[in-house]
Amino acid sequence: MNKIVLASNNSGKLAEFQRLFQPLHIELIPQAQLAIPECPEPYLTFVENALAKARHASKLSQLPAIADDSGICAVALDGQPGIFSARYASSDEQPKSDQANNQKLNQALQSQDNKQIYYVCVLVLVRAFDDPQPIIAEATWHGIWQSEAAGEHGFGYDPHFYLPEYHKTVAQLTNAEKNSISHRAQALDLLVSKMQYLDLIKRDE
């Protein structure tokens, strides 16, 4: 396995995945490069949406495909926005916007005493469209919601995702720091371990 299609058109995720895949002997091809459109995400769980996106990209490319479904969950809001994180504040009149999403979640948590939040990432790799045994990895990353945005790195909710142990938001971390501890990095490490176990890839030490 030396070529994998990334089933995402999110530029932030693409940059993050390319950095995370650097040690692997794999060419990561963004689906937009192959004119593959975004896949609908009609399901209520991260894993179902990730699987749908991976199968969609693999079917149209005839290549193995990897997809992630990820989001932010607020404990005080019963896990919301969850799978709706990317389109939390969007509507027919309001397109997807990180700024609008952050503002809406900030307002929702303003009156809550519990500011605990966590990122979820579920990665799914299919070797072919009809792969009967998709490789699945899941990880979470915990923090505290900070009402005031801080930092210029990252994307999405990162400027408000405060890490007490670092005394920084995720957006204040360097790329190297984020890529060593993020939910996506943790999930990818788990996925790579499973791929190595199945002799699908090798990895630089």
| Catalytic residue annotation | 69
CA angle 135, 140, 141 (to 5 degrees): 140
> In 3D, which of 67, 74, 204, 85 has the Cα closest to residue 138?
67
What is the distance between the alpha carbons of residues 123 and 141, in angstroms, rounded to a whole number? 14
Helix, strand, coil share of the chain (percent; to 5): 40, 25, 40
CA angle 58, 60, 66 (to 5 degrees): 25
Q: Could you give the angle at which helices 183-197 and 11-20 cross, rounded to 10 degrees?
A: 50
